[in-house]
Amino acid sequence: MDRQVIYADLNISRNAGLESSSPPSPPQTIFLRQKSSTEKSSMDAQENRKETTERPVLLQCPTNWQLIRDKCLFFYDTYKPWNDSLADCFTKESRLLLIQDQEELRLIQNRIDKGGILFWIGLNFTLSEKNWKWINGSFLNSNILQITGDAEENSCVYISKTQILSENCATENKWICQKELKPVKNKVCSAT
């Protein structure tokens, strides 16, 4: 059984349905006409040109934040205990640094000026689990970071240009906050 497909053009005014302070316009008329398969191919090509397309746009880091991979990092120059550093990042809609892999660690350590400068990161020792735990709830993969120092109650982790060390969380150090970069899609309509 042959089925015939009918294609239609809808001609609707661009401002149909928009409210304005001018008097209402007369009702819109919709015109329909049947298209041949040749016209259909032509219409498909035109529709593809009119189609809304999305393209990712790279975000920039806020002023004074540094882009490293897909994160914006802020290296603080003041000194605070680990918990205060954690709270400070939160107030800036960020969090203490979470290091994903060896390459990211290397990139971050390359941004630290001197070996003696210490920065808290988002890793501390939990006595209940007897393990190093990131502030996002995941446990440390010891293949990524080798921590020097004690693993005991109230131990937090800081990094320097050359080391990853544990220290009492009440010690005052600088800290690194991170914000994730998220791609934003802009919708672009091409006019024909």
Query: Which pLDDT tens digit goes with each residue over 158-184?
Result: 999 999 999 999 999 999 999 977 654
Residue 36 lies in a domain: no
Query: Rounded distance, CA 83 to CA 74, Å?
Result: 17
Confirm if 85 and 175 have CB atoms less than 8 A apart: yes
Residue 45 lies in a domain: no
Residue 47 lies in a domain: no
Confirm if 119 and 112 have CB atoms less than 8 A apart: yes
Residue 36 host element (H or E): none
What is the value of pTM for the model shown? 0.63
Residue 151 lies in a domain: yes
Three-class SS state of 175 = strand
- Kindly provide the b/e burial profile for residues 100-124, where b requires at least 16 CB atoms within 10 angstroms of the residue's own CB: eeeebbeebbeebeeeeebbbbbbb
CATH number for the domain harbouring residue 84: 3.10.100.10
Residue 44 lies in a domain: no
- pLDDT per residue over 49-61, tens digit each? 444 455 555 567 8
For tokens 């390359």, name the residue.
110
pLDDT confidence of residue 115: 63
Residue 75 lies in a domain: yes
Residue 13 lies in a domain: no
Residue 159 lies in domain? 59-183
- Kindly provide the b/e burial profile for residues 57-91, where b requires at least 16 CB atoms within 10 angstroms of the residue's own CB: eeeeeeeebeebeebbbbbbeeebbbebbbebbee
Residue 16 lies in a domain: no
- Our count of domains for the chain comes to 1
Mean pLDDT value across residues 113-132: 87
